[in-house]
Every structure is written in structure tokens, then in C-alpha cells.
Amino acid sequence: MPAILSIEALGKQYKSGHKALEGVDLSIERGEIFALLGPNGAGKTTLISIVCGTVTRSAGTITVAGHDIDHARREARQRIGLVPQEIALDMFSTVLNTVRFSRGLFGKAPDPAYIEEILRDLSLWDKRHARTMELSGGMKRRVMIAKALSHEPELLFLDEPTAGVDVNLRRDMWALVRKLRERGMTIILTTHYIEEAEEMADRVGVINGGRLLLVEDKDALMRKMGKRQLTLTLQTPLPAIPAELAEWSLVLAEDGLRLIYSFDAQAEDTGMPALLHRLSELGIAYRDLDTSRSTLEDIFVNLVEKAA
Amino acid sequence: MSGVNLHGIWAIYRTEMARTLRTIWQSVATPVITTALYFIVFGGAIGSRMSHVGGVGYGAFIVPGLIMLSLLTQSISNASIGIYFPKFTGTMFEILSAPLNAVEAVIGYVGAAATKSVVIGLIILATATFFTDVRILHPVWMVAFLLLTSLTFSLFGFLIGIWAKNFEQLAIIPSLVITPLTFLGGAFYSIDMLPQPWRTVSLFNPVVYLVSGFRWSFYGLGDVGVGASLGFTAGFMALCLIALAWIFRTGWRLKP
Ligand SMILES: Nc1ncnc2c1ncn2[C@@H]1O[C@H](COP(=O)(O)OP(=O)(O)O)[C@@H](O)[C@H]1O
Ligand SMILES: [Mg+2]
């Protein structure tokens, strides 16, 4: 079975001359949650918009479930649902009517039972006769999702689904995305919140300046790129790092009370046992010991800096 | 799904008609009141002092022109707002991302706008019968002109809606071009009544052909031949279609 989405050598230059995307290759497997992670202006929205057909592309080919988005437009597009970054609704329409409209627009026969199901899932059923302009921001966003799901797409794009959304709504959104995935939906979301990618994604693609810097299994990425840190809280402050400890890259912090050792989590020999052994030989006593793993944020900052 | 996206066309058509129904009173009351006013002023006050035009009473003579005036303005404004609104609110992304081709989208939007124009044209016709004695010599042609004009100018309105970047631009063509051309296009007089060179100049006004053909279908008399009227309308429609095909192919003013 072909990949649900395959992008090859995608390029986009806006009329202003700005190159928003260059040589992007990406393949998405069925059923995965893929997070496209990048700072503002990286080209995330441009990438999504091109796949969905709302922005033209300058170069490259794109297929959806093996269907070319130009030559088999209909087959490709009916498989895609899009929740754009900005909320855009027909203010005068009711919730029910605007969701029905979307289903029809995507070529599906009416299915009141299915529409009821998604509206109930999104806690919108009680509001089905309300005009969209009467709804709160969070509800409007859910209406956007209901519209995108109305035609039973296989591939759902969520462009910055939780930007400017409060914490509760963000949790709800994450729960919803997981539920959709359990039903077999493939989800591509963009975000500039590392936390979100870390929380949700199976795989992460890091994009910056229109280039896809890397695509990696999230856990593998964490393992491969992740640094670990050992923090020792000492019983008595050290004036300086003793010469006997020179072979470890150590940092002394908090007026000599904290000794921090950073090391590669992937390395065969982390050097940690040896360090602890040497400390006891030197008679340096510690009250507390803590290790932490770097977040995707650290990884991301690292990558972007390297690429710059 | 294969073939034509009928559900998609219907979704657009239905939503557009619902938009009209939301403002049903403005939609119907405005043309009825306007028409009544025209009859009181032109048909009653002025027309009573005017002789018959080509054997037709002045009140009856202006009926086709009045309907044509409404058809043009209504078709253009309905269709242009219909497609401009999604651009304005941002909901256009959905139309652009749907498995819908240009022809299907145009049938939905233009079909709805033209339907509304035809209904309003018929309402004006019905209103007119209260004020004057209307005869229709060629009813089939009358309906044909009604449909053709509504469709053509709805297409034109659709183009304006895509072209417009703001509400001013949306209003400028109807008020600065269409209304003057209609008033100067023989809606309220026969261009035979004009002195030269204005008579000849009028022949360059496209609305003359529309009004003339339409009036011919009522009373069997026109300023220009009915063939020229039909040819002009069909030609203008073809131009609009070519422009639309180009817009959808290039994404002009629709896609960055
Ligand atoms: N319509 C447009 N015309 C010109 N430049 C644009 C347009 N849309 C986006 N850009 C530029 O392209 C780059 C990528 O934008 P975008 O895809 O929206 O980034 P992101 O979604 O990652 O924040 C930005 O520098 C942005 O300014
Ligand atoms: Mg964006």
C-alpha cells in the first residue's frame, strides 16, 4: 500500500520572491501522528496549504494514498481534512448547517447519524442550532474540526491546533487527537510548542527556513540527540573544580554547592559510575543526586543553531 | 466518487439560496418598491404626457427595460457577494481544498445568483401588471433572454467578486459602469428618439442590445435586431467563461 502522503522535492517561492520551501521530501505512513515542528515563518503552513490545494507550488510532486494531487485531484482531496491555523466560519450559518455543507462540498451524501456522532464527540450537539458567531473561541475551533472530519477523511491536517488556546482546551485537543488516531486516522499537526510534539507525536519533522532539517521517530530522536545531566548537590561548597576531576566536563553552580555533569545518553560509557567513584575517593560528599533528560526543546534549539 | 461532484454543487447552491432567504424581505421588497416607484414617476407622471412608442403605451414600453435593469444589478451583486464573502471571511480555503473543479464551483455559485435574479425579474413583471397592460408576444424568447442575461451577468459578477480586494471594488463596477450604461441603454426610451450622433454612440453600449432583444420578446419591436442581441449576450458570456477558466487554472487572486 502506498504511503498516505508522499512529498518529493517540494519547493515554493511566493510572488514576493520569498522562498518558503526548498527541496522538501517527506513520506507519512498510515495511522501515525506526525508533528511538523518549527518556529514561526518556518514554512509549516505553506507546506500544509500546498498539500491541501489552497496554495500553488513552484516545484515537486505530491501524492495522497498514491493519487497525484494534480492528475487525480478528486481522489487525493476527498481523503484530506484540513483545520487551518485561523478560525474561519460562515458567521450566519448554524453549526449543523456548516458541518453538513462541508460534507456535501467534499462530495459525500448526507449522513445525519455520522454528523450527529462527530458533533457529540466534540460536545457541539447541544449547540447544533446556534449560529457560529454566537459560539466561544474554543467552540468555534471545534466546529472547524467537525467540518474537517465531516467527510470522513483518512488524513487530517491540524495547523497549530492549540496556538492561543488555554490549558484545558489544549488537553482536550490532545485527547481528541489520540481518539482519532485510535480509529485509524493519520494526523499531521504543526506546532511551535515542543511540548506538544513531545506529547503527541510518533514522529517529528523539524523545519526551519523552508528546509526540513530532519525527520525522526520521536523516541529515537530523544535517545539519539538527548543529553543527560547529572546534578549533585554537595554537602559543603567547593571553591573550584578539583584537578582530579578534569577528565569529566563539569560545571560548578550555586556558589559551589552544585556539581553538574552533562553527558551523551547514547554513549557506551557514560562516565557516570567512574565519576561517582572518584568523588568518594576524593571524599567529596553529596546530599542529593538527580539526573534529567533534555527536552525536545533543547534538541530543537541545538539543531536550529547547527543549521544556522 | 467519480464523475461530477453533485453533492458539492448542491451544497454551494443550497447555502447560497439560504443566504438569500435569510434576507428575503430585502431581496423581494427592494425590487418591488423600486419598480412601483418607477411606474409612478415614469409611467404615471411623465408617461401620461408622452406619446406611444412604436404603438406601445409608455408604461408598458419601459417594463422590459426595468426588468433588465434589475436583472443586471441583481445578478452582478448576488454573484459577486457570493464569492467575495468567502474570501473576506477566510472560508474560501474550504472551497479551494474541496474535490470540486472550477465548473462545479461556478455552477453552484452562479446558478444560485442567476436563480435569484430570475425570480426577482418575474416578481417585477408581476408587479408591473398591476400598473400597466403588459403583453408578451414571444414568451419562450422572453424566458430565454431572462435566463441568458441572468446567467451571463451572474458570471460577470462572479468575476468581479474574485477580482475585488475590498468592498469598494465590489461596488464600483455596478454603480460606475452598469447603472449608467443601463440608463443610457434605452431602458426608458427608444434610441430612435435620440438625436445623432448619440444614436450611433448608443450602439456601442452593450446594454442597448440586451434591452432591445428583451423588449422585442414582449412587443415585437427593438432598436437592433434580435440576432444581434442574442449574439452579443452569448459573446459576453463566452468572454466571462474564458476569463474564469484562466483564473481557476492559475489561481489568480484565489491562491498565493
Ligand atoms: N502569501 C504569502 N506571500 C509571501 N510570503 C508569504 C506568504 N505566506 C507566507 N509567506 C512567508 O513564507 C514564510 C513561511 O510562512 P508560513 O508557511 O506561514 O510559516 P509557519 O506556518 O511555519 O509560521 C514566512 O516567511 C512568511 O512570511
Ligand atoms: Mg503557520
| A188 CA distance to ligand 2 middle (Å) | 13
**Contact between B90 and A88 using a beta-carbon 8 Å cutoff:** yes
Inter-residue long-range contacts of B183-188, CB under 8 Å, 24+ positions, other chains counted:
B185/B65, B185/B210, B185/B211, B186/B65, B186/B211, B186/B212, B186/B223, B187/B62, B187/B65, B187/B66, B187/B68, B187/B69, B187/B211, B188/B42, B188/B62, B188/B65
Q: How far apart are the first and last CA of chain A?
A: 38
| Contacting B residues, span 223-252, partner chain A, CB-CB under 8 Å | 251
Cβ–Cβ under 8 Å, residues B83 and B155: no
- Residue A224, pLDDT above cutoff 80: no
Q: Which element (helix H / strand E) includes A252? A: strand A250-253
- Say how far apart CA B114 and CA B185 lie, in whole Å: 22
Query: Residues near B34 by Cβ (< 8 Å), separated by ≥ 6?
Result: B70
Q: Does the beta carbon of A191 sit less than 6 angstroms from any atom of ligand 1?
A: no
Cell digits for A283?
Answer: 571524599
Q: Does the beta carbon of A41 sit less than 6 angstroms from any atom of ligand 1?
A: yes
Determine the longest span between alpha carbons in chain B, in angstroms: 64
B236 vs A28: which has the higher pLDDT: A28
Q: What is the pLDDT of residues A66-118, one digit of tens each?
A: 999 999 999 999 999 999 999 999 999 999 999 999 999 999 999 999 999 99
- The residue type found at B129 is T
**Contact between B11 and A104 using a beta-carbon 8 Å cutoff:** yes
Of all residues in chain A, the percent with pLDDT exceeding 90 is 64
Choose among A265, A261, A264, A289: nearest CA to A275: A261
Cell digits for A120?
Answer: 457529540
Read off the DSSP letter of residue A213: E
Choose among A29, A23, A97, A17: nearest CA to A61: A23
- Give the total residue count for chain B: 256
pTM score: 0.86
Q: Does the beta carbon of A20 sit less than 6 angstroms from any atom of ligand 1?
A: yes
- Residue A139, pLDDT above cutoff 60: yes
Integer-rounded Cα Rg, in Å, for chain A is 24
A52 vs B contacts (CB less than 8 Å): 93, 96-97
Cβ–Cβ under 8 Å, residues A31 and A146: no
Minimal CA separation from B80 to chain A, in Å: 16
Highest mean pLDDT among A179-188, B195-204, B221-230: A179-188
Question: Angle formed by the axes of helices A137-149 and A95-105, to 10°?
Answer: 30
B107 vs A contacts (CB less than 8 Å): none
Query: What residues are paired with A37 via a beta bridge?
Result: A191, A206
Half-sphere exposure of A207 (CA within 13 A, CB side): 30
Cβ–Cβ under 8 Å, residues A224 and A247: no
Q: Which among A55, A75, A105 is the nearest to B94, CB-wise?
A: A105
* Mutate which: B88, B94, B100, B253, vs A, most A CBs within 10 A: B94
A308 band by pLDDT with thresholds 50, 70 and 90: low
Average pLDDT for B226-250: 89
- The alpha helices in chain A, defined as continuous H runs, are 44-52, 73-77, 95-105, 112-121, 137-149, 167-182, 194-200, 218-225, 272-282, 296-307
| A39 CA distance to ligand 2 middle (Å) | 9
A101 vs B contacts (CB less than 8 Å): 11, 14-15
Rounded to the nearest 10°, the torsion over CA B181, B183, B189, B194 is -60
- Residue B20, pLDDT above cutoff 50: yes
Chain B residue closest to A105 (CA)? Answer: B8
| B201 CA distance to ligand 2 middle (Å) | 55
pLDDT computed for residue A295 by the predictor = 67
Q: What is the pLDDT of residues B122-165, one digit of tens each?
A: 999 998 888 888 889 999 999 999 999 999 999 999 999 999 99
Cβ–Cβ under 8 Å, residues B131 and B36: yes
Choose among B111, B73, B86, B63: nearest CA to B218: B63
pLDDT computed for residue A117 by the predictor = 95
- Residue A153, pLDDT above cutoff 70: yes
Q: Is B99 on the interface with A (CB under 8 A)?
A: yes
Query: Residues near A80 by Cβ (< 8 Å), separated by ≥ 6?
Result: A51, A52, A64, A153, A154, A155, A156, A157, B97
What mean pLDDT is reported for chain B?
A: 88
pLDDT computed for residue B1 by the predictor = 45
Average pLDDT for A217-245: 84
Q: Does the beta carbon of A205 sit less than 6 angstroms from any atom of ligand 1?
A: no
* Domain annotation for chain A: domains and CATH numbers: 5-223 (3.40.50.300), 227-294 (3.30.70)
Of all residues in chain A, the percent with pLDDT exceeding 70 is 95
B174 band by pLDDT with thresholds 50, 70 and 90: confident
Highest mean pLDDT among A158-162, A292-296, B28-32, B205-209: A158-162
pLDDT computed for residue A82 by the predictor = 98
Choose among A234, A188, A213: nearest CA to A303: A213
**Contact between A105 and B89 using a beta-carbon 8 Å cutoff:** no
- Residue A159, pLDDT above cutoff 80: yes
Of all residues in chain B, the percent with pLDDT exceeding 70 is 96
Minimal CA separation from B8 to chain A, in Å: 4
- Residue B89, pLDDT above cutoff 70: yes
Half-sphere exposure of B227 (CA within 13 A, CB side): 0
Q: Is B4 on the interface with A (CB under 8 A)?
A: no
- Say how far apart CA A215 and CA A4 lie, in whole Å: 16
Q: Is B12 on the interface with A (CB under 8 A)?
A: yes
Query: What residues are paired with A207 via a beta bridge?
Result: A212
| A33 CA distance to ligand 2 middle (Å) | 18
| A23 CA distance to ligand 2 middle (Å) | 19
The residue contributing the CA closest to ligand 1 atom 1 is B256
Of all residues in chain B, the percent with pLDDT exceeding 90 is 44
Ligand 1 pocket: which of A37, A45, A49 to mutate (most atoms within 8 A of CB): A45
Highest mean pLDDT among B106-115, B163-172, B201-210, B221-230: B106-115
Q: Does the beta carbon of A14 sit less than 6 angstroms from any atom of ligand 1?
A: yes
Highest mean pLDDT among A132-141, A260-269, A287-296: A132-141
